[in-house]
Structure 1
Amino acid sequence: MSESTGDDFPFVRTRVVLVTGTVLGTLDGLPARLAALGLLPAGRGAAGALRIADLDVGGDRAQAAELGRQDAEASRLAAPDAADLSIRLLRAGQGDGVLVIAARSDRTTADRVLRATVDHLAGHDLTPPAGAPVTPSASDAATRWRTWPAGLPQIIELPTDVRRPSPLPVTRSALAVADVALVGADVAARLLAAFAVVLARYTGHHRQALAVRLPFRADTGGELCPVEVILDGVGTAGELVDAAGSWLRHARRLRPPRQAELTRGGLVPDGRRFPWAQFGIQLSDEAERRWTAGGVTAVVVEACDEPLDLLLDVTVAADGTASATMSWSSGVLDLTEACALRDSLESLLPEMSRCPGMPLADLRAVTAPQRARLAQVNAEAGHAPQEPLEVLFARRARLTPAAVAVRDETGREVTYQELLDLSGTLAARLTGAGVRPGDTVLLALPRSLGEVVAVLGVVRAGAAYAAVDPAWPDARLAAIAAAARPAAVLALDADAARLAAMTSAPAVPVPTAGFARGPGAGPLELSPNRAAYVVFTSGSTGTPKGVSVPASAVVHLAHRPGFVDAGPGTRFLRLAPLSFDASTLELWAPLLNGGTIDVFPAGPVTPHELGGFLRERAVTTAWLTSGLFRLMAQQCPADFAGLRHLLTGGDVVSPEHVRALLRAHPGILVTNGYGPTENTTFTTVHHVDTAEDVEDPLPIGRPLPGTSVHVLDADGRLVPPGAVGELYTGGWGLADGYLDQPEQTAARFGRLSPDIPERLYRTGDMVRLDGRGRLRYLGRNDQQVKIRGYRIELDEVTRAVAEHDAVHDAVVAAVDGATGRRLLAAVTPPLPASVLDRVREHVSGLLPGYAVPSLWVSVAQFPLTQVGKVDARTLAALADGRTPGTTSAPPGTPPTVDVPGPAADPAQLAFVVMSQALGRTDIGPDDDFTVLGGDSLSLAAMLAALRNDHGRKVSARDFYLQPTLRRLGELLHAAPRATRVPEPIGARGGDHA
């Protein structure tokens, strides 16, 4: 058997051929014929290399053809030690039959075997051996791709609901493409152009590597050749067809790449896809598909070579007409998705033929039924927010005045009437201090009854609250104060004077149940569309961005919400920082609907303390970040037992832990909630209540009533259902924009799409609509990440790191670990640990704690991946003290520290667990845990390790007051013994996917 030009890719080539005629011989003597033609496989002996079968299957030719397809499929799935060449004749009635060829060879050899077999059945004389294959010239050889073109994606995934199997999927199905407009000299170019547009619309990539096979290329062995397709810069449909013609002409000068060449360009086979292209187009002359040998006619009804995800197979007749089929891997696409791609292709072909001057941007590949499906996603209108926020709260208070509105951090109960009175008193105080409708009030209170009163009082005064954490660096607080220009400050005594001096605004005391009440607020006529609060998020320019959220958006989210029950009888956990927009739901949903807010005490949160709180307060509804939910599921799963509804999000939610939770506690409703701050907490939700319904990954779901979602391309144009695009959202939840930042507001808010006639917000999140009309999150299109639910601009953090004099260059990335995502900062040049600590202290003085990297490493130069990107995984391994490339231990486990048993000395045990949590051993007795990189999740993991592995219970609040190694040792010395926790959710084998 001749050597393959594509011998680096040993795929099984199969042919299913309908053979008809009055003369149909037998396969006797075929091996001798193949041997004479040099077509028998060599290297393993003839006995194991060739298998021939002649079977009478009965029935008609259609039934025989279907059996042939099944037989070909079995051949493609055959074990590696199966025959190198398999030839089977399946005889139907009246002399018809189906010939099935399966060959481990190049395509040309497989086709020569097929022709020789048909000649043998027709009784033709032996065909002389073919001449020597064409040898590529030196200039032709130079046209191989020796490196992968810069900027061209190595892998382009088709958007699909099917999870790609491993090993490489080989099962194929095919659909005919309507032959409209498939005529003329440029038919191949028009098909290639339309195919490229469809792929661009579905994948979002305007640069693609297409695998192209052209007729009459004996010098390539019939193998696929790579063609770079570039849509950017092409103006019209006609120009695209011209460009496609040039791509095809260029393909004639190329040679199939070998694996050694691709490896130099960074393409390494992963066993799950074709190594260098996922999509292809195959052009054939009709003579290659249908021919006559004597009295026998052979028609190739299926040809499968390389297992591409998607292949457009085109046969051009002598009169210029063409027929086309689209085949796909059934392990990558389901039938519905494949039909959508085919429909999009069919919709483009007539447009390109009729209107060559049509702008390429207007070729949308979206059919009328697909547009109707997109519209259906936003069909639930909901109720428009028409009444002011404070009016709805007052009405609820008067409806159930004696009901408990807040159970504060101490367990004290405050009724709706008392809360109405307290907030009215504060509103009057604010008005007396000079606060006017439209002003902003800086709010720096911990979780408490006072915080709830403050929020209500500010809103009832017609102002907007802007929450800050007094522990943030002065530089950030000053930047926020300068942007917010507050008219008053609400803070505890220790912080009020500091913030009042920073803002030149008066500090106003907040009344609580223990205060004497003053006169209440008089009635104000307030606009329902005025600002209710301002949330300051990370800004790419280094300046915090204030998102101004109208009161009507809060009403839209929280008044009579269809996605969560917050009415009488519900107990809603109050946990999220007020500067985090999840607090909007925790506060306003129960207050507007008659539920009770249960306030978790101020300070750091650990899973066991929170779990105990959920049990003691009989909390029914809780919102937890995905990271905190994972920790609780691992450390105290029994504490979820009393919940009726768990909402989670802020980052990717672990399906494994959701599945295990629902198995352990049937009856809980789990909601994956997605939404940017700019659209008021939640844009979409996805509910699951049985373990069997949990998908991996979890969808982010469907929009709230009154919220619209649209998946658009880089130009703000609609993409077909199922295609990848950026999520734009609209509706009643939209923020007003960024406070006093008109340019950034205009870039993100407004009428941004020619296809959507409404005001939208551009999220920067890449999504797709799945087959059931639910959105699936795919990642970001910029430098923004979420850590523990907080939105962080990597550029802002990188800038802060690079500002230090000791740093020459800096890279900041988000990396995954056992406790969730963490920020990694890598710097050059190599720095002593003491200097690296000073760099971190510098960053801590500029950014809030959640934006300060917890992993730090300094290197001589940044390691790069094969495609030239900074290798964040290697840097994370170095920061964790692991050898790059080894299996990841839990983040922060230093290799030189032995973990002692429960009876260990308290000081030694403190050093061990803190070293594990921080991933470093250079810890002094008075070093601050947070300054060394500790965050809330690493603190929770450290305290859980003490409890679960060493039987010691330490309060997070006690440690956080003085978070040093010395203090931890003292607490351990006095710590009570802890009860070991039950087996974590997800630890049992049956709980895994």
Structure 2
Amino acid sequence: MGADLNSTSTAYPKEKALFDLFTDSVNRYPDHVALTFHQVSYTYKELNQIVNRLTRELLNKGAGKGIVIGLALDRSAEMVISLLAILKAGSIYVPLDPEYPKDRIEFMLDDSSASILLTSQKYSGHFASNTREVLIEDALEASEDYADNEPERTVSGEDLAYILYTSGSTGKPKGVQIFHHSLVNVMLSFQKQPGITATDRMLAVATISFDIAGIDLYLPLSVGAEIVLADSITAKDGRALLDIIRTQGITILQATPYTWRMMLEVGWEEYLPLKVFTGGEALAKDLAERLIPRSKEVWNLYGPTETTIYSIIKHITDANDITIGWPVDNTQVYILDEDKNDLVDGEIGEIYIGGVGVALGYLNRPELNAERFIDNPFTPGEKIYRTGDLAKIKPDGDIVYLGRIDHQVKVRGYRIELGEIEHNLGKQEDIKQAVVIAREDTPGIPRLVAYIVLKSGGSGAPDKATLNNWDKALLEVLPEYMVPDDYVLLDTIPSTPNGKIDRKALPKPDYSQITREGEYVAPRTSNEKLVADIWEELMGLEKVSVFDNFFQLGGRSLIAVKIMARLEKETGKRLPLATLFEYSTVEKLAARLEIDASAITWDSLVPIKPKGSKMPLYIVHGAGLNVLLFNALAMNMDEEQPVYGLQAKGLNGVDEPLDVMEEIAANYVDEIINHDPVGPYAVAGYSLGGLIAYEMAKQMLAMGKDVRMLAMFDTYADQTQKLDSPLKRFVDNTWLLIKQIAYTPVLFFEDPKRTIEYKSREIGRRIDKAWKKIFPSKALEKKGFDAYTNDIHERSLTAQKNYLLTPVNIAIELFRARKKTFYMADSEFLGWKPYALKGVNVHDIPGEHNTIFAPPNDQEFAQALQKCLDKAAVGEKNTKS
């Protein structure tokens, strides 16, 4: 049976380099689209010409055979172009995700002895290293003078293609060295199974620091298929990914189980002609049950970085029979016991992998190489890789994955050495001992839990300030996905009789212990039980007390939508999301359900944090239409700072939404003045809400009201064209389009992280609207929250399109996201300077447009906002307009 399993020998062009597969596609399919990023596409011929020119420029800058080049670019077309150019130059690339901690990237550059760092103007001078920095903008411009035919070939399949760093147990990442021919083999094997053709469109979402990105990028390029490259924000947004799949003809997507679950949670119910590649971590039965009927095919993929991306694959057709399958071409898999005996009779052993995919080894780690890359006991002269994974072989030959032997885990698709987290926690002054494990107390939701012994002693849960300090310290040296989700204080770490840490004896955390108000109180009424059961299910918690607080338990907008939708389904009562501000415990929300539906109010004014003696702040919703995301900001502000939100009229699906900016603003002004007739007032708006807040301030000043502060939260001053002549509109829009096209490369590298949550929603609605007109019978029916927010959003856009900005004698406090999201003609003042006659005061806040309210950005944002409010409260009254 073992021999049958490993009968995978297949002829393949071992002499070929990885880029030769791309060049073959160029010759066969020159006019096929090879790459699409946002609205820009490149044919194979166009892409190859750009790559060839850039290759020559890189050679001119010192690239060449065996030269190591670090690549730190945001996700963009230029990132793909650069990868291919580095390979064609004969160099070895080190993929560096710029979102990773600076110290970690600098270590990789130093450890790999990289000679060149290819990066963008955005990151110029950011990384301290001994490399020669080459900016992609300059390189592309200089490359325009070069020939675009194939450069001289300097490498073969026996040369290295990349060094990819994975988590390291000693606290430092380790670099895995992968050959060209190993990548060629896995691409040719994958062309056959799971299969890909020149007509496929593959959505690429993996970061290049994750080895599976090789499948995203090189597999479609090897057959003449199209890569649809998602930027980093889209890749993390299940709704945006689902929109792209539905509207752009995507036929293949490779993602981790975490990402597949995220897409299912945001409304994927229908069948899609999509080939599902799931890898990075184990495929659970419940996830397979949901994916199989919704997709064309589901493939379970397994393989460590050290054996070139994937080594074992399986077409999953039955959720009750999940295995990782059989080896890919030219790959041998052995299940061995501690004495290296081959277990082919269903006994559990460790997975060892041999064949052409085995890496050269870890860079500069001879001791680790001796431990992991051992002599193959079955094929003298070859190496096999010891994975540390447990498995068994079924009678039919399929391999069943059974988890890890050691303390290396996979969480949300990322392979994590728990020792690296423990090592860095141990550096904290107050920590005596730290043990980290991955728990899956809720199926499909793995969590990293750190068990801490303090020098000062203590048990239970650490206080919030301590938690923040630990998280901040870890985020300086580790990627976000390696920061523990939960911390548990113990007097001692449990141990086995032989003195080793007994990880199985580590207690399950009380996930709500930090925030629980007093002792656990069980539901006492049918409504309390209904609410508690829904919270437990949707938030992955156990034994939610009737006094537990939604926000303190980690509740967010997406969960709130699901909770309210479930409550509406169970009770027939629709509640505003903002209900959770005032009725944030199980007890209060259950009591709210007992009120007659007709008595439920949908006022625009929402008390987020109503108590306090300071001047209240009123914040207008953004494109998302609800104000739930302002909660974290409010909770990080001064204890005496009241905060109110303004939500859109019509969210109840009954009231008529407004589509005139002046009327929207007047509605909000009425509610504010009815609540507080005297003032003074501080008004703010997020995104689209900034324009509404501007009109509100204008109206309030005209009424003689004391407006002490007008704040914009990353809002751009878009001026209407309604008063322009058709000719002027045509000229202006044409000129704008020309500038956008001309500066497209620059814009990509200034910040390709566009505000996908807003933009994809806007594009999705337009596509949906057009689809309904063309194919009304096939249009996706919007239900629940989507149904009644869609109309409001469209009307809000109409109001924005028709709103004429006029100067107002007022100052604007502009809170500008440090990471730019949109194309802007004025990136300094976001277009507000002509309209704020008293000036624009700019405050840079962390994050990009969609993450300024997310932890840990919310804390710094809140502090800056509080300073402005306190200063405004004692300042002079704004002059009447």
TM-score, length of structure 2 as denominator length: 0.59
Query: Does 2:576 correspond to 1:901?
Result: yes
Partner of 1:958: 849
- Of 473, 476, 483, 2:104 maps to 476
Per-residue displacement from partner, 1:967-993 (whole Å, max 9, x unpaired)?
79999xxxxxxxxxxxxxxxxxxxxxx
Partner of 2:528: none
The amino acid across from 2:170 in the alignment is T
- Of 258, 270, 275, 1:627 maps to 258
Report if the CA contact (8 A) 1:787-1:822 is conserved.
yes
- Of 641, 664, 678, 2:306 maps to 678
Query: Does 2:449 correspond to 1:824?
Result: yes
Report if the CA contact (8 A) 1:857-1:879 is conserved.
no
The amino acid across from 1:526 in the alignment is V
- Of 614, 622, 647, 2:277 maps to 647
Partner of 1:322: none
- Of 239, 264, 280, 1:608 maps to 239
Q: Distance in 2 between matches of 1:612 and 1:926?
A: 40
Counterparts of 1:380-779 in structure 2 under 5 Å?
Answer: 380-386=8-14, 387-408=16-37, 410-499=38-127, 501-509=128-136, 516=144, 518-520=146-148, 522-559=151-188, 561-603=191-233, 605-638=236-269, 641-643=272-274, 645-665=275-295, 668-689=296-317, 693-695=318-320, 698-753=322-377, 758-779=382-403
Report if the CA contact (8 A) 2:54-2:140 is conserved.
no
Q: CA deviation at 1:391?
A: 2.4
Partner of 1:334: none
Q: CA deviation at 1:554?
A: 0.8
Report if the CA contact (8 A) 2:577-2:626 is conserved.
no
Per-residue displacement from partner, 1:909-944 (whole Å, max 9, x unpaired)?
999x999999999952599xxxxxxxx9xx99xx99
Q: Distance in 1 between matches of 2:344 and 2:549?
A: 55
Report if the CA contact (8 A) 1:902-1:950 is conserved.
no
Report if the CA contact (8 A) 2:632-2:853 is conserved.
no
Query: Does 2:439 correspond to 1:815?
Result: yes
TM-score, length of structure 1 as denominator length: 0.53
SS at match of 2:129: helix
Q: CA deviation at 1:951?
A: 7.5
Distance 1:923 1:702, change over 3 A: farther
Q: CA deviation at 1:863?
A: 7.1
Q: CA deviation at 1:637?
A: 1.4
Unmatched runs of 5 consecutive residues or more in structure 2? 523-532, 551-559, 561-574, 580-604, 610-618, 640-752, 762-782, 794-820, 822-846, 863-881
The amino acid across from 1:777 in the alignment is Y
Q: CA deviation at 1:764?
A: 0.6
Pick which of 526-535 and 950-959 moved more: 950-959
Q: Distance in 1 between matches of 2:173 and 2:424?
A: 13
Per-residue displacement from partner, 1:350-393 (whole Å, max 9, x unpaired)?
xxxxxxxxxxxxxxxxxxxxxxx210111132233322222232
Partner of 1:36: none
Percent of residue pairs identical = 26
Per-residue displacement from partner, 1:810-846 (whole Å, max 9, x unpaired)?
1211011366212111223344321232122111112
Q: Distance in 2 between matches of 1:513 and 1:947?
A: 50
Q: Distance in 2 between matches of 1:834 and 1:948?
A: 36
Rg bigger for which structure? Answer: 1
The amino acid across from 2:608 in the alignment is Q
Q: Distance in 1 between matches of 2:489 and 2:627?
A: 19
Q: Distance in 2 between matches of 1:758 and 1:401?
A: 40
Q: Distance in 2 between matches of 1:885 and 1:712?
A: 51
SS at match of 2:243: helix
Q: Distance in 2 between matches of 1:443 and 1:743?
A: 28
Q: CA deviation at 1:903?
A: 4.4
Report if the CA contact (8 A) 1:633-1:657 is conserved.
no
Report if the CA contact (8 A) 1:824-1:854 is conserved.
yes
Distance 1:653 1:873, change over 3 A: farther
Distance 1:819 1:719, change over 3 A: closer
Q: CA deviation at 1:549?
A: 0.7
Q: CA deviation at 1:617?
A: 1.6
SS at match of 1:503: coil
Q: Distance in 2 between matches of 1:451 and 1:497?
A: 19
Q: Distance in 2 between matches of 1:921 and 1:781?
A: 42
Per-residue displacement from partner, 1:633-663 (whole Å, max 9, x unpaired)?
23221476142x1100211212223223333
Per-residue displacement from partner, 1:732-756 (whole Å, max 9, x unpaired)?
1111111121221121113143687
Report if the CA contact (8 A) 1:716-1:752 is conserved.
no
Q: Distance in 2 between matches of 1:878 and 1:860?
A: 20
Q: CA deviation at 1:716?
A: 1.9
The CA RMSD over aligned residues, in Å, is 4.1
Report if the CA contact (8 A) 1:615-1:642 is conserved.
no
Q: CA deviation at 1:502?
A: 2.3
Q: Distance in 2 between matches of 1:512 and 1:618?
A: 31
Distance 1:646 1:756, change over 3 A: farther
The amino acid across from 1:543 in the alignment is K
Q: Distance in 2 between matches of 1:512 and 1:818?
A: 48
SS at match of 1:856: strand
- Of 807, 827, 851, 2:482 maps to 851
Per-residue displacement from partner, 1:481-511 (whole Å, max 9, x unpaired)?
1111112112221213223x42332224256
SS at match of 1:426: helix
Report if the CA contact (8 A) 1:808-1:828 is conserved.
yes
Partner of 1:833: 464
SS at match of 1:874: coil
SS at match of 2:8: coil
- Of 400, 404, 408, 1:780 maps to 404
Per-residue displacement from partner, 1:117-141 (whole Å, max 9, x unpaired)?
xxxxxxxxxxxxxxxxxxxxxxxxx
Q: Distance in 2 between matches of 1:795 and 1:868?
A: 15
Distance 1:673 1:926, change over 3 A: farther
SS at match of 2:185: helix
The total of aligned residue pairs comes to: 576
SS at match of 2:170: coil
Report if the CA contact (8 A) 1:925-1:964 is conserved.
no
Q: CA deviation at 1:864?
A: 8.3
Distance 1:754 1:671, change over 3 A: closer
Report if the CA contact (8 A) 1:865-1:871 is conserved.
no
Per-residue displacement from partner, 1:869-906 (whole Å, max 9, x unpaired)?
56445225366757899996624798521577334466
Q: Distance in 1 between matches of 2:182 and 2:856?
A: 46
Unmatched runs of 5 consecutive residues or more in structure 1? 1-372, 928-935, 972-993
The amino acid across from 2:309 in the alignment is T
Q: CA deviation at 1:703?
A: 0.6
SS at match of 1:715: coil
Partner of 1:875: 509
Q: Distance in 2 between matches of 1:743 and 1:885?
A: 55
The amino acid across from 2:445 in the alignment is G
